[in-house]
Amino acid sequence: MKLRIMGPTLIGCREAWHLLAAFCCAALLSTLPSIAWPQHDHPTRQSAAPVVGSLAVPFDLNSLDGKSVGLAKYRGKPLVVNFFASWCDPCREEMPLINELASEGAKEGYSVLGIAVEDSRAAITEYAREFKLVFPIALDLNSTVKRSYRIFGPPATFFIDGQGIVRDVVLGPITPERAREAMKKIGIAR
């Protein structure tokens, strides 16, 4: 068996960008990084939250097939962002509906993007195959986007209009009725 004694390591470039984005966009915590391992008492609680009517927090992640996926790419047309995980029971409940939304997106002029949280590429690959998912999936492997969107647990679905403004948020599994209502808010009548 290999034994390793591991010390602190430098933050990678991509991770640093993610951290920076999270800091800037969601006003996360203090701006004074501490290199030492601090003795913590209760840290400052984050107060900012992406709310309906505010600009969606930008992000840049890798997709399941290794390509870059960012919010900016979708600017100009409505977007449904679904946070999910392969281990999540209610995510499975709603996934056929999310997939149905996605399959109608091209002709209706909107997009659906899945963001997998707290999961692995292998598990999500299996999941996408099982559900025959037709929409792109971004991997939020370090939870930076999940945190900036203030999601306690999947599923959660954000409805973003063509100007990048969040028009509705559904926490928990979405129903067809609720989806219809939310889609209307981003200009899509179903």
Partner 1 sequence: MTFGPEIGIGKIEANPSTPFLRYAPDGRLFAVWTEDHDAPWPEGKQSAEHQHSRGDRAPSPMRNAFLAWSNDGKTWSARKRVNSDVEAVQGKENGPKVAFDTNNRAYVVWSIPGGKGDKTRANIRFAREDGKDSFTLARTLNEVKDAGRFPIIEATLEGNFLVAWIDRRIDNPRPRQLYLMKIGADGKALTKNYQAGEGLCECCKLGFAFADAGKTVYLVDREVDSNKIRNHVLRKSTDGAASFGAPVEISNDGWQVPSCPHSGPSIGRDSRGWLHVVWFTLGRSEKEAGTYYSVSKDNGKSFAPRQLVHANTVPEILYANLAVGNDDTVYLAWSNLDNRSRAQIFMRTIASDGQTWSSIQQISNARANAGRPVLALKNNQLHVAWTETDGEDSRVILRSAATRR
Which helix H or strand E contains 181, and what residues bound it? helix 176-185
Question: CB-wise, 65 or 163, nearer to partner 1?
Answer: 65
Q: Does 24 bind partner 1 (CB under 8 A)?
A: no
- Per-residue DSSP letter, 127: H
Q: Nearest approach, Cβ of 108 to partner 1 (angstroms)?
A: 26
Site for partner 1 in 76-135 (CB under 8 A): 85-92, 118-123, 125-130
**The two three-digit tokens of residue 22, written as one number:** 């999270």
Using the Cα atoms of residue 106, residue 170, residue 154 and residue 131 in order, give the sign of their dihedral.
negative
Contact between residue 147 and residue 26 where contact means Cβ atoms under 8 Å apart: yes
Q: Does 154 bind partner 1 (CB under 8 A)?
A: yes
Question: CB-wise, 43 or 189, nearer to partner 1?
Answer: 43
Which residue of 2, 51, 107, 132 would you call a contact of partner 1, by CB under 8 A? 2
Question: CB-wise, 53 or 66, nearer to partner 1?
Answer: 66
Helix (H, G, I), strand (E, B) or coil at 133: coil
> Where are any strands of DSSP class E within 19-141?
60-63, 68-70, 79-84, 111-117, 137-140
Q: Nearest approach, Cβ of 114 to partner 1 (angstroms)?
A: 14
Contact between residue 61 and residue 22 where contact means Cβ atoms under 8 Å apart: no
Contact between residue 133 and residue 102 where contact means Cβ atoms under 8 Å apart: yes
Q: Nearest approach, Cβ of 79 to partner 1 (angstroms)?
A: 21
Q: Nearest approach, Cβ of 90 to partner 1 (angstroms)?
A: 6
Q: Nearest approach, Cβ of 98 to partner 1 (angstroms)?
A: 14
